[in-house]
Structure 1
């Protein structure tokens, strides 16, 4: 048995072959460019992404025992295309993009946030797809023209890929739950919210399950079933074997994301973490959970490297000095705003406590601590609603940094289990796809444990003071600008 998992992420597309014992082998990997055409704008070329996905499928052409294919997508990234030809008419507007911050501010001032939260579980935020899709209708003349003739498709990247690969323009409940347009109780597009954002509901793809008979894709000269399609973070949760209430994982990639299993009913999401759909098998009820995001994780580290604060990553694996925040130096990694639990895109990153004797090494120590402390805020918000398990699986690029993992364990007060495989998203995608075609795929090894140790001071309180100062400054600047 083997399953091909295509992980189409923010910076790359990877084709991973997963065997029955859960072991994974990379068949193809391709990076793509990030485009920044304006302030707050982040875009991808959809043709490049599709080409890379197809290349991943082609890489498995000679695999003799391929049972099925699974697809993991970025979640909130979206675009518009011609329904009949499949030709994109916009770039992919990436989840990091905040071009609609002004639209969100207006909707919030008009009092629409309670309605949005009640129906979708999500706050008003440019992070989610709804306002981006509305922006497309308003700003791209071709979109309005196609909408008028019934030839417009609007949606997240998975629907675009699936139309080209299977001939079926569809999305799944996990991805739809990240748009801000899906009613979390009925799992259908909400007509009133579509109207609020200016998104024609008939241009959106049908919503279906995350695993099941989702069509067929061409792998070399053979047709193989597409048996799973879902958001990458939800796939990683399943890849870690998290299935019981309180099971949770943290992924530290471009951003950092924490997901926790709650149960068969949507959680309230009243403490700042967001209710979301984790997965749904065909013919079964969905599984729900809580989600919390930190917009800038590895993105903040890469930004700091670009500033010259360090050259090679081995320089920032260990620090001889005590924690920076214990010495009065803090970094708030709000380079794209603050997500869970504040959901404030107007916030901006900040160093606090700089002095003449502050070194680049001190600043890098503070950057890593700031990401960890933001994740500790997310964990606290989730734990306030759903008691977390004592051990948290951790994956992603920053999981290999010893200082970061040590400080994250200390400031969350929880044992971390560091994934000993790099492809947890692919494994979760493959496990769901395998089950859909009636074969089994094991959860891989346990990984290395990092146990928490007392810090000796209240890092959370110090960091909260730093965040409040950064938020206050950004609000003051925003007020002056207006």
Structure 2
């Protein structure tokens, strides 16, 4: 009996497969790390073939002999990362350029200088920044002979990671869901498909792009050769949109923040296209039967990756979990402040040239102070976003949090204190995967609406209420503002 959903969660540092029951219970999980390639400062690449091979291996591990129980597949993915492959061979033409990559900063600066940003933002909801997919596609065409040759012969396929996985699983379906497509700079928020004028502006051939489809429905079919049976692909969404759905933020104004490799905040804005005046982003949250629900978004490029940096590059901690005990071991950070601009600054600053800063160091500063300052940086960045959201008419009344870092109780409480806001964390923090399961459940007919699916598949949670005094909060934010100027 087909009573389960297979979710493929292709993240930035790892890829996973998870099997969910129809009530949202996770029955099995398999995970494999992805190799990070850093050929030059500011460049980040993945091997698309590795993403496919490891995702398939994880899928086979969790399904095993139970493929008959899988009624649908949902896919969620690191957004903005670009894969280029050959339609005839089905093989990658170059390494994928990852969302964190900053190599197109000069191209974006030139386009701003020529005055293109206001119109691009009006049409796509996005700003001219290396973060987004369109400039990465242009770079590949300009600098990779294999990609350029495939474009000339008409065999080039561009896609984000969900598009790549759907292509491989289905044996040739070239499609992208509206949530991922809205992150490319090539899709108007009010347009059904990629736009010829935007493609021309960025120098990307429209013929190389996928068809834009709903986030849930009968989207494609996984070929039986991969899992032992043909299984419909019924849910596709970028990881942050998927997490928003997994948090049940399906009503206007409901807000979630995911703390993973980066930090991403989305507020549901209903079916009205969002227009930001404070350098936030308009994006598609989900699309059903061609009708879109939108979100306004703020993205910080560095969150969990800062903790990883302290562990792997600086050797200050042995594991991410150590940071909570270190933070609790001292009264405060000793005025140490970290601005984690290791990959530039995202919203609302959008400065790709900014670099990380550790300020306030003294002989009294040790690894505990630095670890605590790293966790405090999450609340500081989020406070910047909260101010911008409020100025854009989307103030938060409550914040739903998830992602790997949210399991840290100290950090969750610090968020509530600095934001002066109630913070809620679900017991099951892997809401990105849960959101993909919810989409696939509705897309396959196992559930009849996103609202009912979320109600049935989400569990309980924990609430953190503000406890910090106003003067302590203001002093913290003032120190952060001074350090931000240095960055």
TM-score by length of 2: 0.92
Where structure 2 has 5 or more consecutive residues not aligned to the other structure, the ranges are 448-452
Match of 2:194 among 179, 189, 197: 189
Matched, 1:297 2:303: yes
The equivalent of 1:319 in structure 2 is 328
Match of 1:164 among 160, 164, 168: 168
Match of 2:485 among 468, 472, 482: 468
* Conserved 8 A contact 1:61-1:221: no
The equivalent of 1:180 in structure 2 is 185
The equivalent of 1:105 in structure 2 is 109
Q: CA deviation at 1:314?
A: 4.2
Match of 1:215 among 215, 220, 226: 220
Matched, 1:452 2:452: no
How many residue pairs get aligned? The number is 467
Instruction: Map 1:387-466 onto structure 2 (within 5 A).
Output: 387-440=394-447, 441=453, 442-455=456-469, 456-457=471-472, 458=474, 459-466=476-483
* Conserved 8 A contact 1:252-1:399: yes
Supply the distance in 1 between the matched residues of 2:255 and 2:369 (Cα, whole angstroms): 31
* Conserved 8 A contact 2:330-2:368: no
The equivalent of 1:52 in structure 2 is 54
Supply the distance in 2 between the matched residues of 1:190 and 1:379 (Cα, whole angstroms): 32
Q: CA deviation at 1:25?
A: 2.6
The equivalent of 2:146 in structure 1 is 142
Instruction: Map 1:26-105 onto structure 2 (within 5 A).
Output: 26-59=28-61, 60-63=63-66, 64-105=68-109
Supply the distance in 2 between the matched residues of 1:339 and 1:67 (Cα, whole angstroms): 39
Instruction: Map 1:242-253 onto structure 2 (within 5 A).
Output: 242-253=249-260
Match of 1:9 among 8, 11, 14: 11
* Conserved 8 A contact 1:248-1:258: yes
Cα 1:315–1:15 change in 2 (3 A) is: closer
The equivalent of 1:201 in structure 2 is 206
Deviations 1:130-154 (A, max 9, x none): 1110000000112121111111112
Deviations 1:285-337 (A, max 9, x none): 1110011111011111111123122234443214243333xx53211111111
Supply the distance in 2 between the matched residues of 1:314 and 1:275 (Cα, whole angstroms): 34
* Conserved 8 A contact 1:9-1:74: yes
Supply the distance in 1 between the matched residues of 2:468 and 2:160 (Cα, whole angstroms): 43
Cα RMSD, aligned residues only = 1.6
Q: Secondary structure at the match of 2:219?
A: coil
Supply the distance in 1 between the matched residues of 2:281 and 2:381 (Cα, whole angstroms): 16
Q: CA deviation at 1:401?
A: 1.6
Q: CA deviation at 1:41?
A: 1.1
Supply the distance in 1 between the matched residues of 2:205 and 2:105 (Cα, whole angstroms): 21
Supply the distance in 1 between the matched residues of 2:152 and 2:72 (Cα, whole angstroms): 38
TM-score by length of 1: 0.93
* Conserved 8 A contact 2:22-2:457: no
Q: Please, which moves more after superposition, 352-361 or 128-137?
A: 352-361
Q: Please, which moves more after superposition, 154-163 or 453-462?
A: 453-462
Supply the distance in 2 between the matched residues of 1:173 and 1:233 (Cα, whole angstroms): 13
Q: Please, which moves more after superposition, 391-400 or 235-244?
A: 391-400
Matched, 1:377 2:394: no
Deviations 1:110-169 (A, max 9, x none): 221112111111111001011110000000112121111111112212222211111211
Matched, 1:224 2:238: no
Q: CA deviation at 1:341?
A: 0.5
Q: Secondary structure at the match of 1:80?
A: strand
Cα 1:361–1:114 change in 2 (3 A) is: same
Instruction: Map 1:245-264 onto structure 2 (within 5 A).
Output: 245-264=252-271
Matched, 1:118 2:122: yes
Supply the distance in 2 between the matched residues of 1:330 and 1:141 (Cα, whole angstroms): 45
Q: CA deviation at 1:389?
A: 4.7
Q: Please, which moves more after superposition, 305-314 or 354-363?
A: 305-314
Matched, 1:287 2:293: yes
* Conserved 8 A contact 1:414-1:452: yes
Supply the distance in 1 between the matched residues of 2:127 and 2:431 (Cα, whole angstroms): 28
Q: Secondary structure at the match of 2:328?
A: coil
Supply the distance in 2 between the matched residues of 1:25 and 1:425 (Cα, whole angstroms): 16
Instruction: Map 1:230-245 onto structure 2 (within 5 A).
Output: 230-245=237-252
Match of 1:271 among 261, 274, 278: 278
Q: Please, which moves more after superposition, 309-318 or 62-71?
A: 309-318
* Conserved 8 A contact 1:253-1:298: yes
Supply the distance in 1 between the matched residues of 2:64 and 2:365 (Cα, whole angstroms): 55
Supply the distance in 2 between the matched residues of 1:69 and 1:140 (Cα, whole angstroms): 34
